[in-house]
Structure 1
Amino acid sequence: MRKHLFAAAALCASAVMAHADALDDVMAAGVMKVGTETAFAPFDFIDAGTHTGLNMDVFTEIGKDMGVEIEWITLDWTGVLPGLEAGRFDVVAGPATITAERMKRYRFSSPIAEATVALLACAKCDIETPEDIAGKAIGGATGTAQLAQLQEFAATLDTPPTSISEYVSFNESYADIASGRIEAVANSLPNIAFVASQRPEVFKVVKPAFGTPTYFGYPGRIEPEYASLMDKIDEILLAMKADGRMAELQEKWFGTTFDMPDYITEPNI
């Protein structure tokens, strides 16, 4: 009986060791599975039925440099990080705002864009500064750092917003601005600048940004066996920053570039 138990334990230990390095597994399979949502333009979105955006371009470069294919797995944002934890994919394209709380649960890549929170408002409404959301119906996306900062900012106003609606995707909130159900939504400055540029007759960016300076990164698993994979992704991202590929992609999708640290060790939020 004891021999069988030792044999079973040894077999389990061998299985764990055989899959103890995520980079080795990805390279052996020739495929890296990447989870994301497709309602977060210009990072990931659907254009004329095709998945496109900054993340597609960045991970195309990562795949080329690693010599692997990229397999995309898309779902609502509320399911993306749980999907990562459940092992449905190797890394998240997301991206996600790098926060102190999230860094306790995930290993973040080198930043790929600024993530400071600002407001997208209806073009003809009277919201000209962030403080003008007082008494207005506004929105944010469930489970996002942008929503958390919006709620904190709203609590500082003498007159709070009449409501803060939560949305599964930002596209739903943009549709509600266009239809007049809400007057503004909080999202990162790069995202809303892109949206406003596409439909300036419907949307406008409210300046200045009200959020704390923050950055977007790609979340990965924090367990030691995933360190090699995240190290490789960082190596490629830093190379892209150094050789100008990242700046070219930022200019393509945001119309501007960002000064970013190589790593975030102490987030501002």
Structure 2
Amino acid sequence: MKDFNNKVVVITGGATGIGFSFAKRFGAGGAKIVIAGRRQDKLDTAVVTLEKLGVEAAGFTCDVSDYAQVEALADFAEEQFGGADVIMNNAGVLIPPSTVIDADRNQVLQIMNVNYMGVWNGASVFGKRFITRGTPAAIYNIGSENAFFNIVPGMFAYESAKHGLHSMTDALREEVPDFIDVSFICPGFVQSEMTEAAGDIPMDVEEYISIAWPQILAGEYYVVSHPYNVVWIKQRYDEMMKAYETYAPRYDGDWQYDPRAMVARAAQSAED
């Protein structure tokens, strides 16, 4: 989607940080904005700021881990502006660093409920409405550089959710009709409420938006930043390729074990 003029853009976690910066950028392009979050005071402040910039905006209190509340968010967008054209699933949380073995179960569930299920809730609720309407739309899932590798000690729960979100978004883009754009937006370490303890070490959020925005306008699937990440990506995939080359090298006819081809053959056999 290259033109957001008069489009209705819903952004979860949109009152602060990356979500709010995207809200301003969409609004500058003529979009009407619905921002969702759990804190009414932050929503109110964000809406006032957007309106001062000349953007039509509204806020809605929503816990994205609750499917019914996400449905209510979609209803709100219809009541305010006639329905959403874009959903940006941005809301996310962090938990204290921990190891896999010693992590608090409830905290791990919190991460999964918000950072994974919250995105699925948004994609499901809004995706169904986009398909029913049948007009150009977009689903933007906010992932992370941590969807590509695990390098931060104690962050396994966050990284696991983002890896799962990567897979979900891959599936989503194959499933939806051509009139729905899907992007997997993967910020690196960017200044936000979640990273404020790191001071000015993370990338400035407006610098990040300036990198990401042209990719969104170009309809890219992967929206990336932080170029050093290719070092860690290469390290992971080099290790994987070495394992295959050593213990499962390619050979003539290995296509018979292509998982997609095997599933297709199994489906055909079931029909026969």
TM-score (norm 2): 0.29
**Larger relative helix fraction:** 2
